Amino acid sequence: MNIFVQQFINFLQLGSIYALNAISFSMVYGIAGLVNFAHGSFFGISMYVLFFISTLLFQLIESTWIVYVIALIGASIVTSLVAVIVEKAAYSPLKNAPKIAVVVSSVGAGMALEYLILNIWGSKAKRMPDLIPNVTFKIADINVPLFKIMIVVIAIVTMIVLTLVIKKTKLGTAMRAVSQDRVAAGFMGIATNRVVSMSFVFGAVLATIAASLYGTAYTIFAYNVGENIIWWSFIAAVLGGIGSIGGSVVGGFIIAGISILAPIVLPVSSYKDIVAFAVLIIVLLVKPTGLLGKKSIEKI
């Protein structure tokens, strides 16, 4: 019983982090119409900025929460700036180019950023300071660190806020309009370029929030941290139906479920990757748009 509860908490933690990253992927795909492979590098930049701001602030401020909030805001701004620059430099000019050019461009931008991180901050791994107070509750023989609860809470709050922004605000309406039909949205007077840039900002902020949770949960990271997270998040997004926010959440939790369950159920714990990819292939065979993805009709 205890093991079950513990594993369930592990599942929620991992699922939350995958889901947030998958949403970033999905949003940019839905609105800008491109798979942003540079997302992993945005995630990496967020990690480093969070690390530097929080390390600095912890020398001045004692309250973990205040440091966390300031670091989160600072890192969001920096990462958003980088994201918008990448969008303007590497994607926007390719708006009318074949899709493969944008894919190559995004992979290139991602790698360039990753090596930029390596050159600026070096190869030595870093330890993220505890961004959430290091307290562990013992509830009926089960160890529950506070950060695990907070990761789930922060992820849920972020998803609710994001949904509200998309459903209720003017910007959100514009985003949905662009996602449905970019040309028509332009005719209706929506500044489509700005909306696309905003989707990158949203993606960057989500990446920063995810990075703060990841850093708290797994502490040690190096310049290639984004590379590792990107594939699972991408798979989660595709599995759930890329472009659909609900789908990304479902995909994130399915991948997390496999990660947690596989080592328990399978005789060899490292078989989980095989299972995850097998599930992905099966889902795509049955429903090529992903679990919650909508079929879009390509118009000529």
Partner 1 sequence: MKRLLMIALCLLVLLAFVAGCSNNAQTPEDESPSAPASDDEDMGDEDAATGGGVIYFGLNYELTGANPIIGESSVKGIDMAVDEINAAGGIVIDGETYTLDYKALDNGFNTDEAAVNAQEFADDAGICAMIGPNDSDMCMATQAIVTEEGLPAISPWSTLVELTDSPWYFRACFTDDFQGEILAKYAFEYEDAKTAAVLYDMSNPYNEGIATRFREVYEEIGGEVVEYLSYNGKTGETDFTSQMTKIASAQPDILLLPNFYEEIITQTTQARDMGYEGKFMGSDTWGDTSLLEWDTENLLDGALWVGHYHKDVASDAALAFIENYHELYGTDGDPNDIVALNYDAVYLLKLAIENAQSYDREAIRDGLMSIETYEGVTGTMTFDNGNGDPTKSAVIIQISDGEFKYLDTVQP
Binding site for partner 1 (CB under 8 A): 2-3, 6-7, 10, 13-14, 89-90, 93-94, 96-97, 101, 104-105, 108-109, 111-112, 115-116, 118-119, 123-125, 127, 134, 136, 142-143, 145, 148, 214, 217-220, 222-225, 227-229, 231-232, 259-264, 268-270, 272-273
Residues 171, 143: Cα–Cα separation, whole Å: 42
DSSP 215: H
CB of 228 to partner 1, least distance (A): 3
> Six-digit token pair at 242?
């890329």
- Give the length of the chain: 300
Alpha helices in the chain (DSSP H): 2-32, 39-58, 64-86, 99-121, 146-168, 170-180, 182-187, 192-218, 225-240, 245-265, 272-286
Residues 140, 144: Cα–Cα separation, whole Å: 10
CB of 36 to partner 1, least distance (A): 14
Nearer to partner 1, 127 or 194 (CB): 127
Nearer to partner 1, 125 or 157 (CB): 125
Nearer to partner 1, 148 or 243 (CB): 148
> Six-digit token pair at 135?
């307290």
Assess contact for 99 and 62: CB atoms under 8 A: no
CB of 118 to partner 1, least distance (A): 6
CB of 135 to partner 1, least distance (A): 12
Nearer to partner 1, 53 or 151 (CB): 151
Nearer to partner 1, 97 or 282 (CB): 97
Nearer to partner 1, 181 or 273 (CB): 273
Residue 127 burial (10 A CB sphere; 0-12, 13-18, 19+): exposed
Nearer to partner 1, 202 or 223 (CB): 223
Backbone φ, ψ for residue 236 (5° rounding): -60, -45
CB of 192 to partner 1, least distance (A): 18
Helices 225-240 and 245-265, packing angle to 10 deg: 110
CB of 251 to partner 1, least distance (A): 16
CB of 289 to partner 1, least distance (A): 25
